[in-house]
Chains A and B, each alone.
Chain A
Amino acid sequence: KNQVEQSPQSLIILEGKNCTLQCNYTVSPFSNLRWYKQDTGRGPVSLTIMTFSENTKSNGRYTATLDADTKQSSLHITASQLSDSASYICVVRADYKLSFGAGTTVTVRA
Chain B
Amino acid sequence: NAGVTQTPKFQVLKTGQSMTLQCAQDMNHNSMYWYRQDPGMGLRLIYYSASEGTTDKGEVPNGYNVSRLNKREFSLRLESAAPSQTSVYFCASSEGRYTEAFFGQGTRLTVV
Interface positions of A (Cβ within 8 A of B): 2, 4, 9, 31, 34, 41-46, 49, 89, 93, 95-96, 98-103
Contacts and interface: CB of A to CB of B under 8 A. Distances in A.
7 nearest interchain CB pairs?
A43-B103, A100-B42, A96-B97, A100-B43, A102-B42, A44-B103, A43-B105
Interface string B26-52: 000000000000001111110000000
Nearest to A3: B42
A52 B45 CA distance: 24
Which among A42, A44, A93 has the greatest number of chain B C-beta atoms within 10 A?
A44
Contacts of B44: 100
Nearest to A44: B103
A98 B100 CA distance: 10
Nearest to B104: A43
B101 interface: yes
Nearest to B40: A102
A22 B47 CA distance: 29
Nearest to A99: B42
Contacts, number: 40
B46 to A, nearest CB: 13
Nearest to A95: B98
B4 interface: yes
A96 B42 contact: no
A9 B40 CA distance: 9
B45 A98 contact: yes
B8 to A, nearest CB: 14
B19 to A, nearest CB: 20
Contacts of B100: 34, 46, 49
Contacts of A34: 100
B102 to A, nearest CB: 8
Given A98-B45, A101-B42, A42 B106 contact: yes
